[in-house]
Amino acid sequence: MICGMGKHTVRFRCHSCGHCCTDVVCLPTPKDVIRIARATGLHPKKFLEFLTPDEISEVSASDPTWLECDGQRYIMALRRGKKGCVFLKKKSRRCSIYEHRPILCRLYPLRIQEDRKGKFKGFTLHKSVGCPRYRDGVVEAAPLRKLYIEDCAHSDDYNDLVEAFNRDRDPAKKPKHFVKLFVKKI
């Protein structure tokens, strides 16, 4: 049976409305950053920015990926311009790094459903997103679950790096120095 939420499939098809690339802030993991840098040859400073809580209200204050320095909190995000993500092609309105895009982009607008014990139940479409969430297609859940598990592993590594960064009390520390913890040379 195919329904909106499923353990095996989810009814959804992307119609390339552009919402995810223009209206959603992407928070890549360090492994996403490394993958993008290797694929594009760009140094992360060209495609990353660090947002404050005033600039991104969608991230909870308790999120473990907030970087602390300058008496302020920052979170790593893909750089955005007036018309969306730095990797959004101006003319075609398509992603220029589609094959190398962050896992968050690969999963959007789907989200995992778990029971109270954290056991996988299935995937569903986020309710509070601007994506039209068309249901005229079928997405297999197995590859999504694999991506989700990979993202969880990346998130654990990310959290460890953030803890190390936040322990450093150097008054000259800036958010951009966080990248040096996981990018040596690309």
* Distance separating alpha carbons of residues 107 and 115, to the nearest angstrom: 19
Q: Considering the domain boundaries, does residue 160 fall inside one?
A: yes
CB 147 within 8 A of CB 102: no
Q: Considering the domain boundaries, does residue 158 fall inside one?
A: yes
pLDDT in tens, 20-71: 788 889 999 999 999 999 999 999 999 999 999 999 988 999 999 999 998 9
* Distance separating alpha carbons of residues 74 and 50, to the nearest angstrom: 6
Q: How many domains does the chain have?
A: 1
* Distance separating alpha carbons of residues 12 and 132, to the nearest angstrom: 10
Entry pTM = 0.85
CB 133 within 8 A of CB 14: no
pLDDT in tens, 92-120: 888 999 999 998 888 888 877 888 887 87
Residue 170 belongs to what domain range? 9-181
Quick one: tokens of 122?
A: 């299935």
CB 90 within 8 A of CB 98: no
Q: Considering the domain boundaries, does residue 13 fall inside one?
A: yes
Residue 5: predicted pLDDT = 53
